[in-house]
């Protein structure tokens, strides 16, 4: 047993039962973002245009020059980001250390800003929208909001 305690209900210092559910939410949102980013990266490396039924333009956005940074697809950065966010959540489930969430906004805010830039590119430069990219922007935004909530709950 660590000092901070493993039981979410009894632990008052590093998070209570309430925190537990917030972390679950954080994890689930990151998981959705992760699946989305893996899908986009897979289409990139397998040379397939992403299919899109709701909003037109996935193929256009995903094949545009803005979809990669050098040879690396943007969605691969997404995978790393979401995987890291999930790892933080799992580390919290494991250790219950509040410090894990202390610096989270330092990652989620730049990620959010980057997402906003990509939305700008889609709307005003490429002029096509890609549903998978919008989903990713949504998950990044929610993760940012949740990261502030978690920081508040655990660090205070």
Asked whether position 50 contacts other proteins by CB under 8 A, the answer is yes
Among 128, 130, 143, 146, binds other proteins (CB under 8 A): 128
Question: Nearest approach, Cβ of 124 to other proteins (angstroms)?
Answer: 9
Q: Would you count residue 80 as binding other proteins (CB under 8 A)?
A: no
Least distance to other proteins, CB of residue 156, Å: 25
Of the candidate residues 4, 25, 28, 31, the single one contacting other proteins (CB under 8 A): 31
Three-class secondary structure assignment of the chain = CCCCCCCCCCCCCCCCHHHHHHHHHHHHHHHHHHHHHHHHHHHHHCCCCCCCCCCCCHHHHHHCHHHEECCEEHHHHHHHHHHHHHHHHHHHHHHCCCHHHHCCHHHHHHHHHHHHHHHHHHHHHHCCCCHHHHHHHHHHHHHHHHHHHHHHHHCC
Smallest gap from residue 129 Cβ to other proteins (A): 9
């Amino acid at each position: 047993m660590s000092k901070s305690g493993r039981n979410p209900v009894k632990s008052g210092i590093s998070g209570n039962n309430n925190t537990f559910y917030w972390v679950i939410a954080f994890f689930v949102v990151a998981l959705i973002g992760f699946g989305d980013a893996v899908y986009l990266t897979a289409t990139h490396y397998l040379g397939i245009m992403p299919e899109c039924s709701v909003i037109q333009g996935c193929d256009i956005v995903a094949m545009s020059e803005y979809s990669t940074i050098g040879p690396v697809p943007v969605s691969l950065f997404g995978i790393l980001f979401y995987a890291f966010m999930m790892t933080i959540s799992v580390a919290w489930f494991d250790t219950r250390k509040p410090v894990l969430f202390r610096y989270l906004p330092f990652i989620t805010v730049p990620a959010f800003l980057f997402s906003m830039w990509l939305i700008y590119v889609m709307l005003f430069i490429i002029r096509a929208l890609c549903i998978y990219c919008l989903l990713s922007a949504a998950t990044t935004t929610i993760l940012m909001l949740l990261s502030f909530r978690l920081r508040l709950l655990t660090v205070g």
